[in-house]
């Protein structure tokens, strides 16, 4: 395996906190990361890595199997060029593709799984670009963010992120990472989350409306659901929020958003879509 410090030296770069660049340099952590896909027998024929950096994780992904392919998306021009030079043989053999560009803007390839040390500043946006693809993901986040992803109803960490994440996948924190594993060390601890795709145990007719409805109610998390529905028509786009309140179960209306399970959000969103006259043009 390539030495992380050697890669950084050959690249001639240093991580830049102002640009959200923190290179993972702990060999032990790097060696463990691929095992989190292997433990669930994930298909690793084509692994997508967001934010290749100097290639320390890329090197481990390439070693996962002789037949597997890896695609790396790297937005930094110098780092993308370094990856092309450092892994020229792997690229020539057809095992590696380097895409230079922003992971939120480039066309992502078909992939079977993703293992990535995400730029923390855009980790949410990237995650919710990947989750709808329905592929196994092993992603690194700020620890606080990761804890919100896996949170259960009734806890202080439970929120919109919890419901939205668990709509697509079963999330699990598989490892916490100390600051010292990175160069330069970030200001916070990190955590690795494994997300196994799953179908939720409820149905929603309009996924976009469901996610918008969840977002709206959590903007009023200290209010009862009754008042949250009334106060967020500008977000949900509901023309008739009062009709939803009149039709909903009284016990549910007395709850707050952080006490509602995802299935309860789904049922209420379906009711809102049926009687609340949602108007896409009205939603903000």
Q: Which residues are annotated as a binding site for S-adenosyl-L-methionine?
A: 22, 24, 51, 74, 102, 117
Neighbours of 252 (CB within 10 A): 16
Distance CA 278, CA 162 (A): 24
Annotated binding site: 22, 24, 51, 74, 102, 117
Contacts of 214 (CB under 8 A, 6+ apart): 160, 163, 164, 265, 269
Selection from 162, 183, 194 nearest residue 54 by Cα? 183
Distance CA 178, CA 192 (A): 11
Q: Transcribe 91-122 into DSSP letters.
A: HHTTSEEEEES-TTTSPPPP-SEEEEE--GGG
What is the sign, positive or negative, of the torsion defined by CA atoms of 66, 172, 128, 270? positive
Selection from 135, 138, 144, 94 nearest residue 118 by Cα? 138
Selection from 209, 215, 201 nearest residue 274 by Cα? 209
Distance CA 182, CA 54 (A): 12
């Amino acid at each position: 395996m390539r030495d992380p410090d050697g890669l950084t030296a050959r690249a001639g770069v240093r991580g830049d906190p102002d640009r959200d660049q923190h290179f993972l340099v702990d060999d032990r952590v790097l060696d463990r990361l691929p095992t989190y896909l292997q433990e669930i027998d994930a298909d690793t024929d084509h692994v997508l890595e967001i934010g290749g950096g100097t290639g320390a994780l890329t090197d481990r992904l390439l070693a996962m199997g002789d037949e597997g392919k890896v695609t790396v998306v790297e937005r930094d021009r110098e780092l993308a060029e370094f990856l092309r030079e450092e892994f020229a043989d792997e690229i020539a053999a057809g095992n590696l593709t380097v895409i230079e560009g922003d992971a939120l803007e480039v066309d992502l390839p078909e992939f079977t799984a993703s293992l990535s040390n995400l730029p923390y500043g855009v980790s949410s946006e990237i995650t919710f670009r990947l989750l709808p693809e329905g592929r196994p993901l092993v992603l690194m986040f700020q620890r606080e963010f990761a804890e919100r992803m896996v949170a259960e109803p009734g806890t202080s960490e439970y929120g919109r992120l919890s419901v939205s994440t668990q709509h697509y996948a079963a999330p699990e924190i598989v490892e916490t990472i100390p600051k010292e594993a990175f160069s330069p060390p970030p200001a916070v601890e990190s955590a690795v989350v494994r997300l196994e795709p799953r179908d939720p145990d409820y149905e929603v007719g309009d996924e976009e409306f469901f996610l918008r409805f969840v977002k709206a109610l959590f903007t009023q998390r200290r209010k009862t659901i009754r008042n949250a529905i009334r106060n967020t028509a500008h977000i949900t786009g509901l023309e008739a929020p009062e009709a939803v309140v009149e039709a909903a179960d009284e016990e549910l209306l007395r709850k707050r958003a952080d006490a509602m399970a995802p299935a309860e959000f789904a049922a209420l969103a379906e009711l809102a879509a049926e009687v609340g006259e949602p108007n896409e043009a009205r939603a903000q």
